[in-house]
A and B are shown apart, each in its own frame.
Chain A
């Protein structure tokens, strides 16, 4: 194993993969545990010389997401590159390495009453995985997603070149914004080893209001909530109770204690239907089980079309939950036999009419191999060309992303 020997020569922690090291059900040849960006570069350069394919992993919480990859030779496991490099509370920025778990980062930031304004939708997720897959939860209405908060990164290209993009200041238009290009790129363009984020203060007061809303009232109710000037941080819906013709609605208010009190009174009136301060723990969990055991979908649509699209999905037997305030919903398929290719097409047509799309997030490998995970992708030709520039030999996360990228 020439590759193995070459890595050991550079004092890189590498070992042959053994059962248990599978990535999405497939056993790689080699597991590497680099200690820093330089070692990641050495691994990628060595793999390039060997023509080896490479997969990237953090804590492995989302390996059952996306299209199943082909055979992988080398896994670059970033979990040891896990330091918080710099937190500047006065500048509201933090630089963290890719292997830092999001929960650890939030705990550290919390000591300064600051936060990365994202929900941890996948327990155990690391900074690198967060950027690679761009998951989002209810608070995206308030602060957007990773793409809106990531201001700088360090990237190792498939040939081992180390590059930085962005910087440490929030306001910066020097050069292309590679942070956005890399966000949600599923590790197919390079290995992110370090990232700088914009932070937000933790609000002094936080309150969820929930209401059990009859479906026929839902469109008008959501419209009035969204059109209010109460600046909710989240507006969530859940169709699990649809058997009785109702939808659960949860609205998050954040701010000063007095401000939240005043807004909660007005919002309670808007929500009606016995709205009350309630437990909305469900909002930060996808409606589907993670880890390749249940099919989970992401459905996006224009904000004004949320109720219609959600109803259509529910009529197909899906449990829908997500951000009505931004038009980003998630859906669980109870039984994988329920999601036929025809169903998926119907749903995709519905979402497309509403300016959105449907992707398969998680699910059994066989399902993700058989169905079209991504659906129609606009701009695919230019995406292929970007992939070809960054990774001409298609060795990085081969086949994991859109259009076979």
Chain B
């Protein structure tokens, strides 16, 4: 088991190296004079040449590549082109925002998804049950950024219940978290409903009922636990996904996390910052996917880690 985990971790590192290589080539394609960007517009050509020497931009691409990979391996992402701050510092400052948003969105997703799933399983063929499929389809068809703007318009602009963006107050996290989690909630409810209705039909539930346990206890204690395993692995994957790529939602709500940071880095041509965002985001996704696979093997002994 341990050897398998180590091998998978090794594969994560190889993948990250590939991502770093990809970002390195992207910067080579960039029609931007890095030394000129750093030195500023008002400086003489000689001065720019000095910066170029200093950064080693005159070396061959191969040497630059090796040096770059060495720095990435030491988690040294260099300095931002825009405000000269170390990129590592910027990431460290923005990362907690992204994590808190992803966490709240996941909790929303789980609570709503599991609640709806259990409710529909308990009353199969009720109105709620017959409409959730339509809801699920509607929710995954809505563009998230559009849904975000509409919520922003109604609840922040018209009703004024929430701030119009940013992360200055506690309530600011509500709308972005709902926007991020609503499609997942719709999916989870379908998955939980399926698992729960299978469990409800099983012999052990019949026995519990025969024993005279109240319906509620059966539902929340026994059925719930049996229905959780598919949702848990989906959750780990979704969490990685939110950490790695909530670009749209963070941009709509001006939520200062990794997603907004990478968008701003693209807008301002801040290559070191963008590269760091891509690498850190990929690392999250890869590690949480590995975690999802581990969870699966722990919950379901039939699954083998490959």
Are A and B part of the same complex? no
